Structure 1
């Protein structure tokens, strides 16, 4: 796993970003407002998705090591604004309390077990920070109140996405390639794609020229890897087809 924030900082950020998420929801014109970055979703759908996710991951961490996750809670979130926000706050606090009690090294089921991110409470906390971070952007977009992301959190978010979502032993089904990401804040990353899978690594000065590279702010790069921005929103050099293939690649297929 690439260097990441301390466990205590991850827990603090889950709380901070969740508060920002709640503020965006409260400022929106209504729970039926569409979420432009999540086509087909309303703001209510977004809150229910994130709150249900917080509850599910709390149950996963509480269960400890397991071959399969517990079932998701099928209960629907309340549709009245104040009740919905209280339900979400309760969901978030349940996750935070469970993570605190478990501690960072508590092993648990994760869908990324074959990748770089650890299958433990630390890995879950890091994943949930960035889930809330990006969905806060979604909610702010729906409310028309988009605020800049904290640069240090966005930087960790790019690295976390490569560690978790782009890390797999599944063979890359195309010609071997390397992808470089360059943040204006001074950080860079490399993703190698070949027959051994997809593996992130720090980008060193002596690295070979990339098959393709993307340059932007940390926030732009994070939104790009999460599918909120397109290659046209960044400075792209090299073969853009590599990004097209990476975006549509489903290693489990």
Structure 2
């Protein structure tokens, strides 16, 4: 696996992004406002989703590598009152951080990404949790009218986590083989190869072979586009744009 953020940095950034999420929620005039990037949810629904999800992952990590699937949130349920809700959300983050810190980065853990290039470890869970929390922080900020770019250090790791964890698979690509590049203006690039063998990814140091399609933007712009928070037209796309349409519609069998 390519170099990633160090484990202590992942935990620190999870805490920081979680605090930013709570700050966005605290600034909302009404928790019933709709979340533009998750239009079926109110801001309260988003808070409940984030808190329940962190409690669920905390329980899953704490249970060890032999659990057959992700465990449900052990509760308590998200309260309605705003101050109590903020405290419940902060406790959800603490439970996740405590569980991951206690387990350590190398211990095995159940994950949904078994066919990807990311390891099934607590460190990989922490890495992906940082991205989920960061993208939902953007969602919450947007709901109150002030969507902020992801911090560059988070977003750079986020593009890499996406191509290794979400995109990479052994499920057969059902179209003609293709090469896809992602270029962050901060100076890092990645390549994804799509074929009958699935999708394989690597950080790109330089290549004499041109990609069939590429996307270029800040790391934050790329992450938000990859997670469907912004259209691909928000970044500079060169080459066969149909490949991105096919890639985002692809649901590989593994």
User: Equivalent residue for 2:166?
Assistant: 165
Tell me by how many angstroms 1:52 deviates: 0.9
**Is the contact between residue 61 and residue 106 of structure 1 (CA under 8 Å) also seen in structure 2?**
no
Asked if residue 177 in structure 1 is aligned to residue 178 in structure 2, the reply is yes
Distance in 2, matches of 1:110 and 1:14, equals 18
Tell me by how many angstroms 1:147 deviates: 2.6
Tell me by how many angstroms 1:74 deviates: 7.2
Distance in 2, matches of 1:74 and 1:90, equals 13
| Unaligned 5+ runs, structure 1 | none
User: Equivalent residue for 1:110?
Assistant: 111
**Is the contact between residue 31 and residue 42 of structure 1 (CA under 8 Å) also seen in structure 2?**
yes
Distance in 1, matches of 2:74 and 2:12, equals 28
Summarize deviations over 1:68-90 as a string: whole Å, max 9, x none: 22431375311111111111111
1:5-154 to 2 correspondences below 5 Å: 5-66=5-66, 68-73=68-73, 75=75, 76-154=77-155
Asked if residue 201 in structure 1 is aligned to residue 206 in structure 2, the reply is no
**Is the contact between residue 53 and residue 73 of structure 2 (CA under 8 Å) also seen in structure 1?**
no
Segments ≥4 residues shifted beyond 3 Å: none
**Is the contact between residue 173 and residue 196 of structure 2 (CA under 8 Å) also seen in structure 1?**
yes
- What do you get for the CA RMSD once the two structures are aligned? 1.3
User: Equivalent residue for 1:233?
Assistant: 234
Tell me by how many angstroms 1:212 deviates: 0.6
Tell me by how many angstroms 1:37 deviates: 0.8
Aligned residues: 253
Distance in 2, matches of 1:28 and 1:252, equals 41
Summarize deviations over 1:120-178 as a string: whole Å, max 9, x none: 11001000011111100000000112233211211110000111100110010110001
Distance in 1, matches of 2:131 and 2:179, equals 24
| Unaligned 5+ runs, structure 2 | none
Output the TM-score relative to the length of structure 2: 0.96
Distance in 2, matches of 1:84 and 1:186, equals 40
Describe the shift of the 1:122–1:182 C-alpha distance in structure 2 as closer, same or farther (beyond 3 A). Answer: same
Output the TM-score relative to the length of structure 1: 0.96
